[in-house]
Each structure stands twice: as structure tokens, then as C-alpha cells.
């Protein structure tokens, strides 16, 4: 495994993580994409090419914090292996070694604090990741009832929440999104004619972007 440096920062590739946690590279990439969609990773995803058996493929590269989040999500039992790998990467950049007991104690305290902060971040992010995982199993746009169920919320309370925050308003008895939310792609309004009564109707539905936004 080679040392990968992006903009002067040591990174770990999605292939490295796949090898360390004994998982498929595609599963690692998919998990990273879901965590980014949930706003949990600190850096945006960027694809880098690599060659294997004469073919060109893509991988992601992560900073230390994001790589640990991904591993904790995929296979917590392999976290130690990833920490060891990071030690190898950082030693490649000549990380300074404590020269005195106070320096060593300070370093140990810093590492303990970093670990505690990561644990807190993962605990806080868990419900959001679960929400994204459940949504990713759905296809296309979703109705109010479907999104309320996804959020474990009562449909009537969910509708009232959207109205009170000026996300929706009533137009001729139909809940309609505010124009600014339609323009940024959070909702779509489907129109048609009833096959039985021949009456025109419109239905507001959440797009994938809208579901991620309201769940955030």
C-alpha cells in the first residue's frame, strides 16, 4: 500500500480500507457515498484513477477522521488495523516522537481526546446514517406518508411542521411547496386527471434531494 498525498495531506484510499476491513471495494465506496449524503464526512468525495490488470478504475481518498468513520460504519472490529495503517502513513511523514515524559503524556491525552470526539460524532451521526440507509432502498420520489413513515413521524404532525416552517402552503385545498423549494429540486408536483371522475388533480412529492434535506 503506497502513501497517497492530496494537496499536501496524507490520505488513505478506499482500496486500502477495503483491504484492511476485508470488504469489497464497491461496498466501501457505497458506504462513503451514503455518509457524504448524510453530511457526516468532513471532505467532499473526489475520484482518482488507478490501473489494475490493464484497466482503469476509480477510488476515493480520505483524511484520517473520515477513514475512521467509514471503518466504524463498515466493520468496527477492524478499527485497530486502520489505526495501525495510519501510524505507518504518518511515520512516512516523519511524525515527531515525544522526547520527554510531559510530551508523551500530552500526546496520549491528545489521542484520547481525538478518540472520544470521534466516538461522540459517530453516536450523533448514527440516526442520520440509518435514515440514509433506509432511504437508499427506495426508488424515485416519495409521498408525504412514505417520508413520514421513514422519519417515524405522524403524518398529520409532519404536514403541520412543513406548513409552520413555510415549506408548504395550501392552494385550493392541496398542499403545495413554496417556489424556492421546487426550484432547488426538493419537491416535484405531479398533475393529471382522474380516470374515474375526470377531475384534474395535483400531488406534491419529495425528491431524493428533498428527503435528504428534510432528514438532515
- 162, 119: one domain: no
- 210, 112: one domain: no
Last residue of a domain, one of 82, 112, 136: 136
- 112, 203: one domain: no
Q: What is the pLDDT along the chain (216 residues), one digit of tens a residue?
A: 444 555 557 788 999 889 888 889 999 998 898 888 877 888 888 889 988 888 888 999 998 888 888 888 887 777 667 777 777 776 665 545 566 767 667 766 776 776 667 666 656 655 655 555 555 444 567 888 888 887 788 888 888 888 888 998 988 778 889 999 988 888 988 876 655 656 666 788 888 888 878 876
In 3D space, the residue among 80, 64, 75, 74 whose CA is nearest the CA of residue 114 turns out to be 64
Last residue of a domain, one of 136, 170, 185: 136
Q: Which residues pair with 1 in a beta bridge?
A: none
Sheet holding 9-13, edge to edge: 4-6, 9-13, 55-62, 47-52
- 110, 127: one domain: yes
How many distinct structural domains can be found in the chain?
2
In 3D space, the residue among 200, 211, 100, 205 whose CA is nearest the CA of residue 153 turns out to be 211
- What domain range includes position 105? 4-136
- 112, 92: one domain: yes
| 67 phi, psi to nearest 5 deg | -65, -40
- 119, 184: one domain: no
In 3D space, the residue among 97, 95, 93 whose CA is nearest the CA of residue 3 turns out to be 93
Last residue of a domain, one of 77, 102, 136: 136
- 174, 110: one domain: no
Amino acid at each position: 500500500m503506497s502513501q497517497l498525498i492530496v494537496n499536501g495531506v496524507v490520505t488513505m484510499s478506499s482500496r486500502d480500507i477495503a483491504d484492511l476491513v476485508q470488504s469489497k471495494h464497491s461496498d466501501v465506496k457505497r458506504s462513503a457515498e451514503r455518509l457524504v449524503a448524510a453530511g457526516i464526512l468532513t471532505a467532499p468525495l473526489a475520484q482518482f484513477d488507478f490501473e489494475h490488470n490493464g484497466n482503469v478504475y476509480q477510488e476515493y481518498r480520505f483524511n484520517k477522521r473520515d477513514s475512521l468513520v467509514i471503518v466504524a460504519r463498515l466493520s468496527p472490529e477492524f478499527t485497530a488495523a486502520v489505526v495501525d495503517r495510519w501510524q505507518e502513513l504518518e511515520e512516512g511523514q516523519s511524525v515527531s516522537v515525544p522526547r520527554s515524559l510531559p510530551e508523551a503524556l500530552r500526546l496520549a491525552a491528545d489521542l484520547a481526546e481525538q478518540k472520544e470526539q470521534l466516538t461522540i460524532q459517530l453516536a450523533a451521526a448514527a440516526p442520520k446514517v440509518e435514515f440514509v440507509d433506509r432511504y437508499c432502498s427506495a426508488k424515485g420520489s416519495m409521498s408525504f406518508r412514505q417520508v413520514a413513515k421513514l422519519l417515524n413521524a405522524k403524518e398529520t404532525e409532519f404536514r403541520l411542521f412543513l406548513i409552520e416552517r413555510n415549506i408548504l402552503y395550501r392552494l385550493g385545498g392541496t398542499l403545495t411547496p413554496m417556489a424556492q423549494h421546487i426550484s432547488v429540486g426538493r419537491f416535484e408536483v405531479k398533475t393529471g386527471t382522474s380516470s374515474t371522475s375526470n377531475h384534474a388533480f395535483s400531488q406534491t412529492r419529495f425528491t431524493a434531494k428533498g428527503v435528504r434535506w428534510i432528514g438532515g
